[in-house]
Amino acid sequence: MHNVVISGTGLFTPPHSISNEELVTAFNAYVDLFNDENTEAIAAGDVEPLEKSNAAFIEKASGVKSRFVMNKEGILDPTRMCPNIPARADDELSVLAEIAVAAAKDALANAGRTGADIDGILCGASNMQRAYPAIAVEVQLALGATGFGFDMNVACSSATFAIQAGADMIRAGSARRILIVNPEICSGHLNFRDRDSHFIFGDVATAILLENAEDADKDERWDILGTKLITQFSNNIRNNFGFLNRTAPEDTNVADKLFVQQGRKVFKEVIPMVSELIQTHMGELGLDPQDAKRIWLHQANINMNEMIARKVLGRSIDAESTPTILDEYANTSSAGSVIAFHKHSRDLPPGSLGLMCSFGAGYSAGSVILRKH
Site residues, ligand CO8 (CB under 6 A) = 53-54, 57-58, 61-62, 126, 155-156, 186, 189-190, 195-196, 199, 201, 237, 259, 261, 263-264, 266-267, 300-301, 304, 331, 333, 360-361
Residue 17's CB is within 10 A of a number of other CB atoms, namely: 17
Secondary structure E strands in 40-197: 66-69, 120-124, 148-152, 177-185
Greatest alpha-carbon pair distance for the chain in Å reads 73
Catalytic annotation, residues:
156
Rg over alpha carbons for the chain, rounded to the nearest Å, is: 21
Report the alpha-carbon distance of residue 66 to residue 241 in Å, rounded.
Answer: 26
Q: What is the DSSP string of 34-58?
A: HHHHTHHHHHTTSSPPPPPP-HHHH
φ, ψ (nearest 5 deg) of residue 290: -70, -10
φ, ψ (nearest 5 deg) of residue 327: -60, -40
Are residues 266 and 361 in contact, defined by beta-carbon separation less than 8 angstroms? no
Are residues 336 and 157 in contact, defined by beta-carbon separation less than 8 angstroms? no
**Least distance to ligand CO8 from the beta carbon of 340, Å?**
15
> Which one-letter amino acid corresponds to residue 185?
I
Query: Which run of H or E residues covers position 207?
Result: strand 203-212
Residues for the chain: how many in total?
A: 373
